[in-house]
Amino acid sequence: MIQDIEPRVFSNRFQEKTATLRDLFLAYKDDRVLVREDKEKLWYPSFSDFEADYPDLIRKAHFLFTIDEMNYFRVDQKGLDEVDGWIYAPTTRFRTEPKYWRSFAGAVGWQLSRWYDNHRFCSRCGKPTVPSRKERMLYCEECTFQSYPVLSPCVIVGVYDGDRLLLTKYAGRAYKNHALIAGFVEIGESLEEAVRREVMEEVGLRIKNISYYKSQPWPFTDTLLAGFFAQLDGDDTIIIEEDELASGEWINREDIPPDELKISLTGEMMEAFRKGVITAS
């Protein structure tokens, strides 16, 4: 999955660091990321690359995280793509980059950049927020309100019946490949309760024998994914929620398409069932 970058080590421990010329920075423009134009791989800029055109850029940077010994910083500067050789590329590149550490760095940086951008002002009193020098937090000097990055818990459910797995396709989304039942956990709800509710709401099925599989951070949507498998309980008639899904169907184990991207928990769960790692109890 996208976070599996071994042997490289990702550390999100907050540090009050000053950038150096060799450090890398991440810059975003809507849903695009600044990269080297002539590279097929995601090649992020260093401060030395922009020293001549933007000598003050390094002093405006905010530390994000490290991968191995390399520091990554965030900058909020317009016009960086006017420097020769640099462009803003779609963040969909994160899903196809074969070197996971590059895509994971870009995706997590994008997640943090959205959080900073969305909390420039205090949600309580409307005054500007300032970053803490001790932790990853924004606070309001006027009313002392504090804001931390928020993760939304989400469940993914592989519903199976013998050697059949329920696969769906989303309605109204650009992503057209097969997926599993998924949805956000609501207030006052356990993960298992969310699993039962989402399956019933989206495909009208009852389930039993819910078992936890694995979790995954998913920086694209600020979510923490929790994967479960569950066995069909009773009638297998699918009644899809058309506002959410375009289709839902039972697919035999041998007919499940292989996971080619290998970045998502959904894909790994489908692959685990296809290969027989998950079997009917």
Residues 6+ apart with CB under 8 A from 74: 25, 26, 27, 61, 62, 63, 64, 109, 112, 113, 116
pTM for the full model?
0.91
Query: What residue ranges of the chain are covered by domains with CATH 3.90.79.10?
Result: 152-274
Q: What is the pLDDT of residues 12-34, one digit of tens each?
A: 999 989 999 999 999 999 999 99
The predicted structure's pLDDT at residue 3: 96
Average pLDDT over residues 192-221: 97
Q: What is the helix (H) or strand (E) element at residue 104, kind and residue range? A: helix 100-118
The predicted structure's pLDDT at residue 280: 66
**Pairing of β 152-161 and β 223-232:** parallel
Whether the pLDDT of residue 165 is over 80: the answer is: yes
Q: Which CATH class is domain 152-274?
A: alpha beta
The predicted structure's pLDDT at residue 281: 56
Indicate the CATH number of 10-111 among 2.10.25, 3.90.79, 3.30.1490, 1.10.3470. 3.90.79
